[in-house]
Amino acid sequence: MARSSVALIQALRETAKRLADGARYQWGHMGSCNCGHLAQTITQYSKGKIHGAAMWRHGDWREQLRDYCPQSGLPMDEVIDQMLDFGLTQDDLTRLERLSHPAILARLPQVQRHLQHNKRNDVVLYLTTWATMLEEDLTEDLPMPSEVSLHSSSVTI
């Protein structure tokens, strides 16, 4: 699972908001699909640039991730590098494309766990649930302030 960080949580929420606000969504387009939208947020590349990077090699995100090689120099591998550097894992991205991470789905009410990978509202729900989960993980790791002693010391005059 991804490393919790404020930056990643913000990226997930920003991506969900952009989709909820009506950004162009097309599951079959490498720059406008589930991973493509998150890649836009993280890399600040356009959907066209991400799609163009993917055309150097065959396959969808799942296949691109399977064939990923950090030393290849291929444009799509550079996009994936940036996403991995942001704290994501290859498994996170593979599961994002299909909205299938068991830990994220388990947080949804039973009636909402059967997400359709190519439905905008399901992607928004998945991303926001994931962000909340990472936020909770992050706050659990924060040190709690030590209790302040309210006992006053005695002063002699």
82 domain residue, yes or no:
yes
pLDDT at 143: 63
**pLDDT at 141 exceeding the cut of 70:** no
Residue 128's H or E segment, with its range, is helix 120-140
Instruction: Say if CB 20 and CB 127 are below 8 A apart.
Output: no
Tally of structural domains, the chain = 1
Read off the DSSP letter of residue 145: P
pLDDT digit string (tens) for 114-129? 999 999 999 999 999 9
90 domain residue, yes or no:
yes
Q: Which residue has the higher pLDDT, 62 or 141?
A: 62
For the chain, how far is it from start to end, CA to CA, in angstroms? 61
Instruction: Say if CB 48 and CB 23 are below 8 A apart.
Output: no
Structural domain containing residue 135: 6-140
58 domain residue, yes or no:
yes
